[in-house]
Amino acid sequence: MRVGRSAWVSVSVATLWRSWASPRTVDQPALRAPAEIRGWLGAMSLTDRRGLQGRADTQALLGDRVLVTAVSGSWAKVVVPDQPTPLDSRGYPGWVPLRQLSAVAPVSAAQYATVVSRTAWLRADTAAATPVVEVSYGTRLPLLAGAGSWLRVGLPGGQVRRVSPAAVARRTGTAAAQPTTGVSMVQSAQAFTGLPYLWAGRSGFGFDCSGLTSLVHRVHGLVIPRDADAQATRGRAVASVAMAPGDLLFYATSSGYVHHVSMYAGSGQMVQSPATGQAVMTIPVSTPSYAVQFAGARRYVP
């Protein structure tokens, strides 16, 4: 692993930490390879989940490319190019255990398989197809071939796994895995209804508010900023009376700081991942606690 070179996430979900010293004892399952995401989430209390604020900022998925900017002991500082941010022009920054990265890129392929269910199991490349690792919505891997009732996909480091065709969308090159329409994005976001909020979450195991909106946009072919405050400065401004499904709605403090984002679902409703202790839900845009902080809407759909 060399500074200035690309690497690829080799675990189901890699959390990006503020520093190598940020993780707590309760966070150790998330640092392993393979990452024990469900075990990590199941062990955390609400207080532990709230304690992620200031420690972690985002996540990257299996197969995502990162750029290594520093190495310290068993940790690498990286930036994630497909998560734009004002924090670094190269991509979203954070620290990741070296064991969760590979210097060997996945093979190139004519087609790619993107997970479009909440999560999916990658299985051993054998006739038994034993489950090996559970991966997230949005995980994008090169499609190698079919294998009976399974598809064969390539991982960083050269491993091959099988996945159910029902869990993925197969597309050529860089084509969007799901339709680039507002209605389709709303359907994708609402498919996570009931999923508990996770600070820094950007996977089908848990989202924060902008993690949900940014990953849904990516799967639908649109790369947008990672965080709500940055999302509020891009795209095209939309008047309240002209809002359409898929538009992003922003909420700010009295000082003007944008701290929350939701997605307009149509008919006066919005879908959101609101806060620790709550879950992805669809509620009226007119909900008083939100309406009083409404700071505008923006559209990224062409």
Does residue 163 carry a pLDDT above 90? Answer: yes
Mean pLDDT of the 173-197 span: 97
Task: Report the top-level CATH class of 111-172.
Answer: mainly beta
Q: Tell me what pLDDT residue 145 has.
A: 87
Q: Are residues 238 and 222 in contact, defined by beta-carbon separation less than 8 angstroms?
A: no
Fold of 182-299: endopeptidase fold (from Nostoc punctiforme) (3.90.1720)
Q: pLDDT tens for residues 213-235?
A: 999 999 999 999 999 999 999 99
Q: Note the pLDDT of residue 1.
A: 86
Looking at the chain, the domain(s) classified CATH 2.30.30.40 span: 111-172
Dist. CA 36–CA 239, nearest whole Å: 43
pLDDT at res. 273 = 98
| pLDDT tens digit sequence for 13-37 | 999 999 999 999 999 999 999 999 9
pLDDT of residue 148: 75
Evaluate if residue 146 carries a pLDDT over 90.
Answer: no
Mean pLDDT estimate for the chain: 97
What string of H, E and C letters represents the secondary structure of 219-248?
HCCCCCCCCHHHHCCCCEEECHHHCCCCCE
User: What mean pLDDT comes out for the span 262-273?
Assistant: 98
Give dist(CA 15, CA 32) in Å, integer: 11
Using a cut of 0.85, tell me whether the model's pTM lies above it.
Answer: yes
Quote the pLDDT of residue 128: 94
Please, where in the chain does CATH 3.90.1720.10 lie? Answer: 182-299
Region for 256 from its dihedrals, namely left if φ exceeds 0, alpha if ψ lies in -120 to 50, beta otherwise: left
pLDDT score at 178: 98
* pLDDT confidence band for 136 (50 / 70 / 90): very high
Give helix then strand counts, H and E, for the chain.
7, 22
HSE-up (13 A, CA, CB side) for residue 123 = 18
Tokens of 246: 């898929």
pLDDT value at 97 more than 90:
yes
The answer to whether the bond into 34 is cis (omega within 30° of 0) is yes
The mean pLDDT value for 272-284 works out to 98
